[in-house]
Amino acid sequence: MKKIGIIICHRYHTCAAGKCLRAMRNREGAFSVYKKDEIELVGITTCGGCPGGNVEYAPEEMKKNGAEVIHLATGLVVGYPPCPYLEDFINFIPAKYGIPVVIGTHPIPTSYFETHTHLGTWKSDKWQAFIKDVLTDEETRKAYN
């Protein structure tokens, strides 16, 4: 059993997590690495708003609940602008709590893919590495639109 926590961008604090939970259930997007594993969600929360104050404390609660990995939700990379603190979260969580971080949850929906492609947001090697686990084929992107 792989126990995971999810941290979403606070601008989506009213999100019902439907796409994240669907991707988790279907092992799509960043959850595709768990094809053969059972997954248990042990925590989900927002970052707390910029600059991400909740990231300082939420992983500790998730770890107490058995979290073995923290997923930073896809919204942190697809929102506009993408989270300016993403790298800070990626560095802080493992350093402070010893929990690995995965960037993304559900596949990138078509509407976000098209917008960020047009804007050139993800052209750099750094951003390509950030979105690699949620950058899926066109059919899957459309299904998550």
Q: What pTM, to 2 d.p., does this model score?
A: 0.95
Sorted by sequence, the CB contacts under 8 Å of residue 32 that are 6+ apart come out as 133
Amino acid at 26: N
Amino acid at 130: F
Enclosing domain of residue 28? 2-143
Please count the structural domains in the chain.
1
- Using a pLDDT cut of 90, give the percent of the chain over it: 97
Quick one: pLDDT at residue 31?
97
Query: For 99-125, what is the mean pLDDT?
Result: 97
CATH code for the domain of 20: 3.40.50
- Distance, in Å, from the CA atom of 81 to the CA atom of 96, rounded to the nearest integer, reads 26
Quick one: pLDDT at residue 35?
86
